[in-house]
Amino acid sequence: MSSPDAPCYTVVTEDNSEIPSTQDLRNALQKGTDEVKLDTLRKIIVSTINGNPQPTLLMPVIQYVMPSRNKALKKMLHFYWEVCPKYDETGKLRQEMILVVNAIRNDLQHPNEYIRGSTLRFLQKISKEQELLEPLIPTCRSCLEHRHSYVRRNAVFAVYTIYREFEHLIPDAPELIETFLAAESDATCKRNAFVFLANCAMPRAVQYIVSVLDQIPSMDELLQMSIIEVIRLDCKGETSHKPRYIMLISELLNATSNPVKYDAATTLTSLTQNPAAVKAAAACYISLVSKESDNNAKIIVLDRLDALRSRHGHVLDTMIMDILQLVASSDLEVRRKALSIVLSLTSSRNVEEVVLFLKKQLQRTQDQEFEKAPEYRQLLIQTIHVCAVKFSEVAATVVHALMDFLGDSNNPSALDVVAFVREVVEKFPHLRKTICEKLIQTLSEIKSGKVYRGVLWILGEYAESAPEVKEIFLQLRKVLGEIPILASEQRLLDESAPEKGEKEEVKGESTKPRVLADGTYATETAFTSVSSARLEAVKAAAKPPLRTLLLGGDFFTGSVLSSSMTKLVLRFIELSDDARKSNALRAEAMLIMASIIRVGQSKFVTVPIDEDSTDRIMNCIQTLSELESKPVVHEIFLKDTKAAYTKMITAQEKKAAEKKESEKTTEVAVQVDDLLTFRQFSKKAVDDLVDDAADVTRATGADDLTEDFISNLSRISQLTGFSDPIYAEAYVKIHGFDILLDVLLVNQTANTLQNLCLDFATLGDLKLVERPSVYTIAPHSFQSIKATIKVSSTETGVIFGSILWEGPGMSEQCVILNDIHIDIMDYIKSAYCTEAQFRSMWTEFEWENRVNVTTTMSEPREYLRHVMKATNMSCLTPEGAISGDCDFLSANMYARSLFGEDALANLSIERTDANIVGHVRIRSKTQGIALSLGDRITMAQKENKPPV
């Protein structure tokens, strides 16, 4: 088991409560029933796997277990032969194994076909034991001619494993299996034989394909998939059969088996880029998605279709309506993926058809029985949004249809519509008039405060005529109700009061006994006056939508309403020469604003008005009251806010264009000694061949390992001192979810250190995979020990341990190791999310860590870059929002761990005369990542420059 080529077994948990002695096990094998022998043999196997082979029990097993005819015992015996010690101390085969080989030969000739097949499967597991296999070769060959297919199929794989390891034992195996394949009728046997030829004699496999080319479409599914795999491998090199292969693969696109169709479509696009072949492969993918019931399989096929689209988008344009039919799936992820592909294929030629289909789907989501209607509606609105902004010719046709959903009870859908309308009204000035008219009509249908804020901002910025301003104020009075709000609410309360002379009743309600602080019991009686009940009734009465929001405590919406009315009044004064009407409109706006403040300070609201909203509304009132003296403020209201939004849209478009450009131009590093490629002599490029072996290599990260001597030195941790008997240092290597420790031990004494054990323990979500073995180190010698530790979450972990060995007189000696701290930054990568996703996660996550800013830096943006560099987080706040000269800075940051954990951060800082003050708030779903990132920022703050 110590050799590097030794087989690897699963470590089975051993019950340490009762470990029978070797004699007890021998007696159980000798005198027990078949059930007792089965249990005893299982214990021996577990003990052997866990490092206690017990070679003295080999002969009793041969004597008392091997002759049994019990099928379960015979199966367990195969497991024992697999793990038992077969060689003595000198490396020679044990004499007892001759009896074992004889028994295996008898089982290979057994009349029961299942015993034969099971024994042949067992031979595949001991394929590295040449001395055991050699006497069994003739019997194994004879099983290829057995009457039962179960025996033959296992015999083929037994020959395959033996030939792969020891070719000289069956030198004629390829000819033997080729003859077997030609005469075989069973589908699984033929498939196994073909796999043998594909792996051991590729020319013979190709020759077989060519000989049965016309019969392949009617063959078994397993054999068809093996044939497709061989075609893929054969086409990696030069082959004259490529045209025939393409014809065959095209036929297999119509096979009855879905896996065969998928493999055939994937292979066809790697053999040719003929438009007809690409269309056929895409049609096959679409058919698979529509017929397959497993959503995971659908997403995999859609990913392949998306990859095909990225290379041959112009060919698939005509199939866009077929892809649109895939949104009929009930799974939201499948719909999202299909709509993403459709968006990529949408062009000015087909955009009208696409949008018409999406609008029909949008109408269907209003049906109460439609599955996952709110989420699907939101997805459709987002898709239509992208189409309309990308293709201006359809914006006019969809914007009015989408505005019908502003009153949607599903808040995210309505917010998406507002974002869409806001962008359309900015980009397409000719649509502003009709959009504003529609928004004015829908004011009474809106239910959400966020939607109201968006609509009010749009109306305040883009209502450009005097009649529109008048109409907006008229509709606002309807959705606000009677003004002043406080006076009307008080009148309703007074009207419900009892008449004079009637005494106001007081209701008394008793509750169950309560336990007081000193442990005694008391009865609590609650008195409720009728007046408070009337107040609650007034609050609960039906009211217009905007009035309901204000009385419910949404004064942010009230401040946005005030700002929008101020813009409308200022614009009306610019547009109209009628001073009387302008003055009346100004007075009405100021009355509404004052009414909002007064009712916010009364008992009729759920939550009192906050100071920020009060200040903002008062600023608007002041602006309207001082029209002539503050023209600069007019400029801010009428032009600056719109200019800021325009700047934000431009920045978003620029960022999207840069991202698209970066996807197109991939930087390829070329070495100075690479071969030159002449384009004129190269073949026409086709899609990449599907190479499963290369995929596995990429998935395990084996091709990404680049060793850098300097970075390796920075990862070395000293574990002991130079004056200790043993010097130890560890090279800590992070690879995916594993931490690899390569520990170097140096015996600094003149004595041999025996039974030396390196013992590790972990703190945090770290788990030691295996305990290192015991070693003996010669005087002044070296020993390298490797240990693997699994990481299960993004949390600062600590590895600590000790070195134990036997000193003089069998006394135990010990050296305690320095702790190894695992850097959380190795598992956190910068990522991006939308503002809506950030806000949703910020509300949802419960763990928050607040870090106060203490730094000598004086520039806020420099400190932001410093924190981003230290935490590997990306800034979500647009560059335009944090540019310019300002003493305040607020930015949102986001990162994602390898384990799928989200980390959010909000930086709010202010520049003072001396330095920067403020705080960083970190939120995450788990406590560990929030605390670890906070510690990281605290450590980074102590430096004036970002950590390298």
| 845 and 782 inside one domain | no
Task: Let me know if residue 725 belongs to a domain.
Answer: yes
Instruction: Pull the structure tokens for residue 707.
Output: 């060793």
Task: Let me know if residue 378 belongs to a domain.
Answer: no
Convert the pLDDT of each residue in 889-936 to its tens digit: 889 999 988 777 888 999 998 888 777 888 899 998 888 788 888 888
Cα–chain center distance at 655: 24
Task: Let me know if residue 924 belongs to a domain.
Answer: yes
Task: Let me know if residue 904 belongs to a domain.
Answer: yes
| 844 and 761 inside one domain | no
Q: Give the whole-angstrom CA distance, residue 137 versus residue 120.
A: 11
Question: Residue 513 pLDDT > 70, yes or no?
Answer: no
Task: Let me know if residue 402 belongs to a domain.
Answer: no
Instruction: Pull the structure tokens for residue 375.
Output: 């989420």
| 755 and 864 inside one domain | no
Amino acid 709: pLDDT: 55
Average per-residue pLDDT in the chain?
79
Cα–Cα nearest to 910, from 887, 882, 933 = 887
Q: What is the mean pLDDT of residues 469-484?
A: 84
Most confident among 11-15, 327-331, 535-539 (mean pLDDT): 327-331
Cα–Cα nearest to 390, from 354, 415, 418 = 354
Amino acid 291: pLDDT: 86
| 851 and 932 inside one domain | yes
Amino acid 210: pLDDT: 87
Q: Does residue 567 contact residue 637 with C-beta atoms inside 8 Å?
A: yes
Question: Residue 330 pLDDT > 80, yes or no?
Answer: no
Cα–chain center distance at 97: 52
The share of the chain scoring above pLDDT 90, in percent, equals 1
Q: Give the whole-angstrom CA distance, residue 696 versus residue 384.
A: 39
| 774 and 874 inside one domain | no
Query: Where does a domain end: 769, 788, 822?
Result: 822
Amino acid 7: pLDDT: 54
Amino acid 499: pLDDT: 52
Q: Which residues neighbour 522 within 8 Å (Cβ) at sequence distance 6 or greater?
A: 513, 514, 516
DSSP SS3 for 782: strand
Task: Give exposure, 531-559, as e/b (b: 16+ Cβ within 10 Å).
Answer: eeebbeebbeeebbbbbbbbbebbbbbbb
Task: Let me know if residue 490 belongs to a domain.
Answer: no
Percent helix, percent strand, percent coil in the chain, to nearest 5: 60, 15, 30
Q: What is the mean pLDDT of residues 201-217?
A: 87
Q: Does residue 317 contact residue 341 with C-beta atoms inside 8 Å?
A: no
Amino acid 703: pLDDT: 47
Strands (E), 493-560: 506-510, 514-515, 521-522, 525-529
Amino acid at 287: S
| 777 and 878 inside one domain | no
Burial classification of residue 948, based on how many CB atoms lie within 10 Å of its CB (0-12 exposed, 13-18 middle, 19 or more buried)? exposed
Cα–chain center distance at 386: 24
| 870 and 911 inside one domain | yes
Burial classification of residue 429, based on how many CB atoms lie within 10 Å of its CB (0-12 exposed, 13-18 middle, 19 or more buried)? exposed
Owning domain of residue 779: 711-822
Amino acid at 702: A
Amino acid 680: pLDDT: 47
Q: What is the mean pLDDT of residues 294-306?
A: 87
DSSP SS3 for 717: strand
| 801 and 745 inside one domain | yes
Q: What is the mean pLDDT of residues 675-679?
A: 58
Task: Let me know if residue 855 belongs to a domain.
Answer: yes
Question: Residue 224 pLDDT > 50, yes or no?
Answer: yes
Convert the pLDDT of each residue in 360-372 to its tens digit: 887 777 765 666 6
| 727 and 810 inside one domain | yes
Q: Give the whole-angstrom CA distance, residue 934 versus residue 100.
A: 64
Structure-model confidence comparison of residues 388 and 35, the more confident one: 35
Query: Where does a domain end: 272, 295, 328?
Result: 272
Q: Does residue 534 contact residue 544 with C-beta atoms inside 8 Å?
A: no
The share of the chain scoring above pLDDT 70, in percent, equals 83
Burial classification of residue 933, based on how many CB atoms lie within 10 Å of its CB (0-12 exposed, 13-18 middle, 19 or more buried)? buried
| 835 and 816 inside one domain | no
Instruction: Pull the structure tokens for residue 779.
Output: 């005087």
Most confident among 59-73, 145-159, 616-630 (mean pLDDT): 145-159
Query: Where does a domain end: 795, 822, 849?
Result: 822
| 911 and 862 inside one domain | yes
Q: What is the number of domains present in the chain? A: 3
Q: Give the whole-angstrom CA distance, residue 605 versus residue 596.
A: 11
| 930 and 832 inside one domain | yes
Q: What is the mean pLDDT of residues 861-871?
A: 86
Burial classification of residue 759, based on how many CB atoms lie within 10 Å of its CB (0-12 exposed, 13-18 middle, 19 or more buried)? middle
Task: Let me know if residue 326 belongs to a domain.
Answer: no
Query: What's the whole-model pTM score?
Result: 0.65
Q: What is the mean pLDDT of residues 11-19?
A: 56
Q: Does residue 932 contact residue 940 with C-beta atoms inside 8 Å?
A: no
CATH at 924? 3.30.310.10
Q: Give the whole-angstrom CA distance, residue 876 versus residue 891.
A: 7
Long-range pairs for 680-684: beta carbons < 8 A, 24 or more residues apart = 684/273
Helices 221-234/258-271 angle, 10° precision: 10
Q: What is the mean pLDDT of residues 701-723?
A: 66
Convert the pLDDT of each residue in 610-633 to its tens digit: 888 888 888 888 888 876 666 677
